[in-house]
Amino acid sequence: MEPFERYRDVVDDYDAFLAACERGLPMAVRVNTLRATPDEVVAAFEAEGVDVERVDWHPHVLVPDTDSPGSTWPTYHGWAHGQEEVSAIPATVLDPQPGERVWDACAAPGSKTTQLSAMMNDEGTVVANDNNLGRLSALRFNTERLGVTNTVVTNQDARNFSLKPFQDEDEDDEDVAFDRVLVDAPCSCEGTIRKNPDALDNWNLGHVEQVASVQKGILRRAVQVTKPGGTIVYSTCTFAPEENEAVLDHVLAEEPVEVVDYDLPLEHVDGLTEFESDSYDPQVTNAKRVYPHHNDTGGFFTAKLEVTAE
Ligand X SMILES: C[S@@+](CC[C@H](N)C(=O)[O-])C[C@H]1O[C@@H](n2cnc3c(N)ncnc32)[C@H](O)[C@@H]1O
The gap from C-alpha 2 to its chain's centroid, in whole angstroms, comes to 26
What sign does the CA torsion over 301, 302, 308, 310 have? Answer: positive
Q: What is the DSSP letter of 211?
A: H
Residues sharing a CB contact under 8 Å with residue 213, sequence separation 6 or more, in sequence order: none
Identify residues 45-84 at the interface with another protein (CB under 8 A).
47, 70-79
Per partner kind, with CB cut-offs from 5 to 8 A, the member of ligand X, another protein, none near residue 109 is: ligand X
Binding residue for ligand X, selected from 35, 159, 195, 220, defined by CB under 6 A: 159
Burial of residue 67 (number of CB atoms within 10 Å: 0-12, 13-18, 19+): exposed
Among 106, 187, 189, 237, the active-site one is: 237
Catalytic site residue 106? no
Instruction: Indicate whether 205 belongs to the interface with another protein (CB under 8 A).
Output: no
Per partner kind, with CB cut-offs from 5 to 8 A, the member of another protein, ligand X, none near residue 132 is: ligand X
Identify residues 102-141 at the interface with another protein (CB under 8 A).
122-126, 133, 136, 140-141
Burial of residue 4 (number of CB atoms within 10 Å: 0-12, 13-18, 19+): middle
Identify residues 211-270 at the interface with ligand X (CB under 6 A).
214, 218
| Residue nearest ligand X by beta-carbon distance | 106
Contact track, another protein, 216-255, x by CB under 8 A: ----------------------------------------
Q: What is the DSSP letter of 68?
A: -
State how far the Cα of 77 lies from the Cα of 69, in Å rounded to an integer.
Answer: 12
Instruction: Indicate whether 158 belongs to the interface with ligand X (CB under 6 A).
Output: yes
Per partner kind, with CB cut-offs from 5 to 8 A, the member of ligand X, another protein, none near residue 144 is: another protein
Binding residue for ligand X, selected from 84, 85, 100, 184, defined by CB under 6 A: 184
Residues of the shown chain interacting with ligand X in the complex, contacts defined by CB under 6 A: 87, 106-112, 129-132, 135, 157-159, 184, 186, 214, 218
Residues of the shown chain interacting with another protein in the complex, contacts defined by CB under 8 A: 36, 40-41, 43-44, 47, 70-79, 101, 122-126, 133, 136, 140-141, 143-145, 147-155, 162, 164-168, 171
